[in-house]
Structure 1
């Protein structure tokens, strides 16, 4: 009985590190206009799209985050799994931004420069 318990504990000692937490990144998205001024209250959507997904107790963790930028144009995310992410930024008076990034660092800042909207053309003018 005791040897069986030791065998089970030894098995867990080798198996648990394999299923441990994935490497995580502290990410912030900084949103600015072309004049390098911060854009406040921009909507930032970050979606984890590829990599080692975060699973705890057999359940997947959140892999999509939606935030607003502060007065400095910064949106800070909680720790997210390292891998490929898609960042989308929407702000009133600017073109929508979308880009995919590979995140491998412990800390990362993604700088987003938003363009003003393009004029719309119509044959009815």
Structure 2
């Protein structure tokens, strides 16, 4: 058997490996992203909550490129609104922490080009 006899099998294997790598790269590049806007208000009055810290983190570990973030933090403006940069679709934990309010934390599914999360904060429990 000569060395050339195994060459067609090698080429076929190389072609399959390259095709898989290109397909994976295309899927990663085409991952859908969501522009997330958050509106934070008081549950009882509907008034906006200014300066609330909003943390967003993926529920499960994601296989994103090294330059992709896994969690984000923003603060609300005077109108109680905050906007995150484009984020990949998926299930995320949203936590809202504001002085004088009970901390909020729930999972949300992000999908579509744009999503508005309306979060209503409750007052903290009274101490006796």
- TM-score normalised according to structure 1 size: 0.78
Q: Does 1:120 align with 2:122?
A: no
Which aligned pairs between 1:90-101 and structure 2 lie closer than 5 A? 90-101=97-108
Structure with the largest fraction of strand? 1
* Matching residue within 47, 66, 80 for 2:87: 80
Partner of 2:74: 67
> 1:49: Cα distance to partner?
2.1
- Give the equivalent residue in structure 2 for 1:30: 39
Is 1:111 the counterpart of 2:118? The answer is: yes
- Across the aligned residues of Structure 1 and Structure 2, the Cα RMSD in angstroms comes to 2.4
Shift of 1:89: 0.4
CA contact (8 A) 2:37 2:115 kept: yes
Give 5+ residue unaligned stretches, structure 1: none
Q: Distance in 2 between matches of 1:53 and 1:40?
A: 34
User: SS in structure 1 opposite 2:31?
Assistant: coil
Q: Unaligned stretches of 5+ in structure 2? A: 1-10
Which residue matches 1:46? 56
Q: Could you tell me whether the CA contact under 8 Å between 1:95 and 1:117 is conserved in 2?
A: yes
Aligned length: 112
Which structure has the larger Rg?
A: 2
